[in-house]
Amino acid sequence: MSAVILTVAVVVYGYRTIPLCRGARLSFAAAWGGRKYLGGAFFFWLLIIAGALNFQGVIIVLGAFTTPAVIAIYATHRTASGLLGYIGNLFMAPVWPELSFAHAGGDKEKCARVGLLAVRVVVFLNVMAAVALWVMLPGIYSLWTARKLTLQPLLMALFLVQGILAAGWSTAGWVLLASNEHRTLAWWALSNAGITLALGVLLAPRYGVMGVAVATLIGDLVCGVSVYPRKAARQLGVPASKVYRAILRPVLAAAPAGALVLLCSSLKVPLSTRVLAMAGVFIAVIYPSALLAFGRDDWGMLTGRIRNYATSLLA
């Protein structure tokens, strides 16, 4: 219903404010004639279907072989770890048009720099967010629902690792989406969902929620980690190792900071002391970690753009 209301609002607003829209006439005949333009959209539809199967389809598999309590455990942990995906969505909106313009202008060097930098930024922030989720999620859940969340450490760790990996390989795929190479990605995404569901059916009866979680990770490794970076590298004209380094470097740079924060969170001291210790460690290590993740040149470019954007907002 919200989509219908939004569509009506856009059409009405367009008629009122955009002169060229006033001559447009909507009809079923025109809609049927427009089906010839749906060829490219079909593959984006496949991407959406694959994403739904990877989440909802797995829950159906769990429902067939396990109990409602197991489904609740899986859905809670998967939804919580899925918060990492919003970081990529936040950066995708401004980066995608820039990649598209660079590709249209034949500027492969800019495509490579922007694409690889986007990978490093999203992965670095995902590692930091994963650590924050691990530490803060039980407290946030209790405040939000007035109930206690009992995390299964191994399951949550697996989902967070999967989220960090997805931040790398899916962000590498932005280059392909921006250059109209989405058809291959759609089939690989559908294959990912197929492998995940097939392995889920095999593993769920014996291993329950952990078997299904492993199935989702294997699907990502086979059809994501091993595919998207290599195809992006071919599109950019760079070695595949360069894309994989863009994924791995931020992880290695942020890992010590994450380990120190986790260590502080486990101290047997009052909560306020632990929070202060974690905040102090984070402030102390974030700058050297960022320099290691991005390099001095890219870090300078990032901070320069942030300063310019902040200045424009305050002006």
Per-residue pLDDT tens for 272-312? 777 787 778 777 778 888 888 888 777 777 777 777 766 77
pTM for this one?
A: 0.83
SS3 25: coil
Give CA–CA dist 17/255, Å, rounded: 51
Helices 108-145 and 153-172: crossing angle in degrees, nearest 10, is 150
Q: Is the pLDDT of residue 169 over 90?
A: yes
Predicted pLDDT of residue 313: 64
Give CA–CA dist 268/260, Å, rounded: 15
Q: Is the pLDDT of residue 77 over 90?
A: no
Give CA–CA dist 301/288, Å, rounded: 16
Percent of the chain with pLDDT over 70: 94
Residue corresponding to tokens 């939004």: 6
Give CA–CA dist 44/66, Å, rounded: 32
Helices 108-145 and 228-236: crossing angle in degrees, nearest 10, is 150
Query: For residue 219, how many C-alpha atoms fall within 13 Å in the half-sphere facing its CB?
Result: 27
Per-residue pLDDT tens for 78-90? 888 888 888 888 8
Q: Is the pLDDT of residue 66 over 80?
A: yes
Residue from 220, 201, 211 nearest 163 by CA: 220
Going from N- to C-terminal start, the domains of the chain cover 58-251
What's the whole-number mean pLDDT along residues 32-48? 77
